[in-house]
Structure 1
Amino acid sequence: MKVEVRFFARCREVVGEKVKELEVEEGMKLQDFIDLLLTRYPELRKVRLIVSRNHNYAPLDEELKEDDELAVFPPVSGG
């Protein structure tokens, strides 16, 4: 199944793309997706990641669905 992944800030620099469509296994959970990213892009291991699903934070055991939009970014701070 396909999911759309948007990368922000340092994550975008590491991956080299703003948006990427990835083919993932049916039934993949969010934690499995993060593990897949870290395997494909080992440099991401140096970045603390936050991943949202369809504009919401999601538990790591949540199952991904066809056409989900995932956003990958480092923690945001400011004041």
Structure 2
Amino acid sequence: MPPSTDRQTDPVAVSASLAAEAALLEGRLSLLREAIEAVDARIDAVSEALGLRYSVTGPAEGEPRSGEAGDTRPGRSKSRRP
């Protein structure tokens, strides 16, 4: 059976290809992080405009956390991405 023409067996070519793909993925990750930050900022701005005291980082002092007794606000993820 002849060797597959789809596979690269040259380690240098494979390494270069993987490095290029990693760089592309890092660029996409950066764009996604920026988009998440923009959405978080918009959520905070809208919350502030509506007079809500809850932010992405957590409830205000003395307020129950999402899911605790007495909490009637819609749930939001409080975790921040690195």
Fold conserved (TM > 0.5)?
no
Calculate the TM-score normalised by the size of structure 1.
0.22
Calculate the TM-score normalised by the size of structure 2.
0.22
Considering fraction of residues, name the structure with more helix: 2
Considering fraction of residues, name the structure with more strand: 1
Q: Answer 1 or 2: higher relative contact order, Cα 8 Å, separation at least 6.
A: 1
User: Larger radius of gyration, structure 1 or 2?
Assistant: 2
